[in-house]
Each structure stands twice: as C-alpha cells, then as structure tokens.
A and B are shown apart, each in its own frame.
Chain A
C-alpha cells in the first residue's frame, strides 16, 4: 500500500506492505539504520524514535499507522552533517556509550525527556530510560550523560554574569 511518511522533516511517498513495521520501513525503505532492531517485540527499546515528539517503540507499530505524523530518528537530531547534538556530545564526553547498540534509542529518550522536563532528577532520568536495555550495562554513564546534557541545555543563552 502507498503511504506518506514524514521523517526528520521530509515527507516521502512509499510503497509498503501493511505488515511492515515502522522500524523496518525506516531501516529498509529509507535506509535510516540508526533505529536498531534488537528484540523486535517491544522489550529492549533499541528501536525508539520520536513520534510527534514522544518516544515510542518503532517495532510496535506498522508504518501504515504512522502516516500524517512527524517521526524523528537519531539521524534527525544533529544540527548539521558531521556534527553532534548537545545530547550526543554529552554521551561522548561521559563515556555514555560502549558497544553503541542501545545508544541512538537512549539519545532519543533523552531528547523526549529533556524537551518535557529541562531539570530532571536522577530518579526521573532513571525512570525515563527504564524501558531501554543496555547490554553492556553501562547505565551509570548514560544517566550521567543525560544529567550533563540537561545542565548544558539549561545553560544555553544564559548571561555569563549569572554563572558562578
């Protein structure tokens, strides 16, 4: 069936089978490999993307259902080619990624969290990533990365005179 999909600000018309998940459509039809296929049944969270700004599992919906909604993948969060978003940068700086398999999804969750809550507590960060499994078990640095990103985002456009 023909569907119109808006991904990272670009609308494309695609031909998909009804049974094609949003995840498979992103990876195979649009060649956006950043959303990862982990468990493919909603347990691991590696396929998380933003659906109208909210973090959802792209393996748990069909591409046909996503028509007329705005989807953002990890490829859509960078300010420009070869650059990193503030959150991606914080993950590098705190060693918030090891093998990297869970990382795009962790970053999408962080984007959704920080857009909604600029000053999350540690508990709120932990709760936000609780649906995402890191098989390297590097959770401590991931939490640290999100906390650092939050701090930096709060500091954006802040007059220097207010900094201690």
Chain B
C-alpha cells in the first residue's frame, strides 16, 4: 500500500498550478487528497507529478456573491459544514455535507476536490446539480465557467478542459420566504458510499402552492440527475402526495441505474423513487413550517 514515486510541487498561485498541469501529461492536482491518496496507494492512479494547491490561500473562501454564495475550491468540507452563511443561505448544502465521509476526512476533503473527482456516489455533485451551481475553472491564464449539469458527464469524468483547474463553485440562493429542503441517502453504514441519495428544495407561494421546485437524484446513475419532468409537473400544485408519487415515478421510469454487489439496478431504481418522494415531502413540510417575515 505505497504510492508509486512522483514529483511533488506546491503551487503558490493558481496560474502556476495550471502551468505545471499543462506541461506534464502525467501531472495531477491534489487538494484534500481523501480520494486521490487511496487511489495512489492502491496504484489505481500513478501521477508522475502532484501539484499541491492546498496552500493557495486565494482558493479558500465562502462569500456572498450577488444573489449567490461562492465557495473556493480548496475550502475544506468541515468549514462549509460549520459556516453560518452556508447554513442560512444554502440549507440544502448544509444538510448534505455531514453525509460526506467522516469528520476526519471532511477535515481535509475540499469542495472543489469532491466536485472535480465526480464520484457518482458523492453528495457535493448532487447538490451542485440540484441547486444549479456554476463551476469556475482556470486554464492557460483564462477563467471559464460551466453549469454543474454540463460539468458531470460520466462516472469520475467531468467536462473540465484539459489542463484546467477548478477554482470555485457558485451556488444561487433562493430568495423566497418559504423555502424548504429535504435530503435522504441510503448506504451500508453512515458515511460509506451512497447507494442512492436524493435532494429536494421547494419554494411555496403565499397561496401555499409550489412556486419552484428542484429535485435531484445521486448515486443511482453515472452522475447526478435532475428530475426535470417531475419539477415541471409539480410546479403550481399543492404537492399532494399522489401527484408527487406519480411525477417522481414517471421521471425515474427510464433511467439505467448502476448495479454492483451492494445494490442491484432494480434496488437502486426503487430506492431512488422512495428517497426522492421522501425528500420532496420533507422539503414541503420544512417550507410550511417557515414563518413569514414581516417586512
């Protein structure tokens, strides 16, 4: 269980990291390393050069950015877990983060690392897709952006251009009065890889009807998916259990779930339906419980 030999270099800024990345085909960026290091010691990954971006202070931040919250790529998951801005503005993200690994891995694991790693079972890609996050990257001295739903293209595969380094994720904040969230996950034991996870965020109007809804399902397929058909069907309704059931079932009818020793495709399909329905139900009751603020 020892990694193959590699060269180590610590980048002082993002452009230096990108320069090294572009110069060496075998180079890889290391952030928290909580997935990359196990891959390396099992020799599933054999980078010739590791570019350490942990000490680039400019990549570690959580800040309000217009009508959203921007999170720097090397911001530790444990920092996001305890951040007051995230708790207030991005409750769905705050709810999902404690499900990532253990506290000792969240102490090192980063937001950008988990997104760029694109594990089908990871929580952060699911939340990024569900909340329509926009990911920024740097390559060749230029900054580019990409919506999360275009970023994830396969299991552990992203649309990040060659030689690019993820720099931040910007999550839009829903501004309504009555916003509720729901998140569910099944796994063998808490903090293990998810077999299926589901996230939902709902905004209710003054009439108690659903003004806006986002439903995402993770771990069931190669990369997180949005249940867009269900969202369209349910917007404007009172989110009656029967309607939610029909809409979610319909949206998940055609998927081709992953299958492994732990969870068959058939199981994942059924679990995805159940968890998505529960996530929407939780989001609805959460939103109903919100008091309307007097302006």
Contact = CB atoms under 8 A, between A and B. Distances in A.
A60 B108 contact: yes
A40 B107 contact: no
A31 B42 CA distance: 25
Contacts of B6: 18-19
A117 to B, nearest CB: 11
Contacts of B37: 21, 41-42, 59-62
B108 A131 contact: no
Interface string A44-77: 0100100100111101111011000000000000
A51 B105 CA distance: 12
- Scoring A40, A57, A109 by chain B CB atoms within 10 A of each residue's CB, the highest score goes to A57
A55 B104 contact: yes
A130 interface: yes
B103 interface: yes
B1 interface: yes
Residue from the set A60, A127, A131 with the largest chain B CB neighbour count within 10 Å:
A60
B196 interface: no
Given A41-B41, A42-B37, A60-B33, A131 B3 contact: no
Nearest to B1: A40
B50 A18 contact: yes
B289 to A, nearest CB: 23
Interface in B35-61: 37-38, 40-42, 50, 52, 54
Contacts of B42: 41
Nearest to A16: B8
Nearest to A17: B5
Interface residues of B, number: 30
Contact of A57 (B1, B7, B40, B104): B104
Contact of B105 (A39, A57, A109, A128): A57
A55 B101 CA distance: 13
B8 A131 contact: no
Interface residues of A, number: 28
A131 B121 CA distance: 18
A1 interface: yes
Interface in B1-44: 1-8, 10, 30, 33-34, 37-38, 40-42
Nearest to A49: B104
Contacts of B4: 19
B190 interface: yes
B96 to A, nearest CB: 16
Interface in B201-219: none
With most chain B CB atoms within 10 A of its CB, the pick from A54, A55, A56 is: A56
A16 to B, nearest CB: 10
B78 interface: yes
Nearest to B102: A131
B191 interface: yes
B38 A62 contact: no
A72 to B, nearest CB: 14
A131 B101 contact: yes
A40 B41 contact: yes
Interface of A: 1, 17-19, 21, 24, 39-42, 45, 48, 51, 54-57, 59-62, 64-65, 109, 127-128, 130-131
Interface of B: 1-8, 10, 30, 33-34, 37-38, 40-42, 50, 52, 54, 78, 101-105, 107-108, 190-191
Given A54-B78, A57-B108, A60-B108, 12 more contacts: A19-B2, A19-B6, A19-B40, A48-B104, A55-B107, A56-B104, A56-B108, A57-B104, A60-B105, A62-B8, A128-B103, A131-B101
12 contacts: A18-B5, A18-B8, A21-B41, A24-B2, A41-B1, A42-B37, A42-B38, A54-B107, A60-B105, A61-B37, A62-B50, A131-B104
Pairs A-B, 6 closest by C-beta atoms: A131-B102, A18-B8, A40-B1, A41-B38, A19-B3, A54-B107
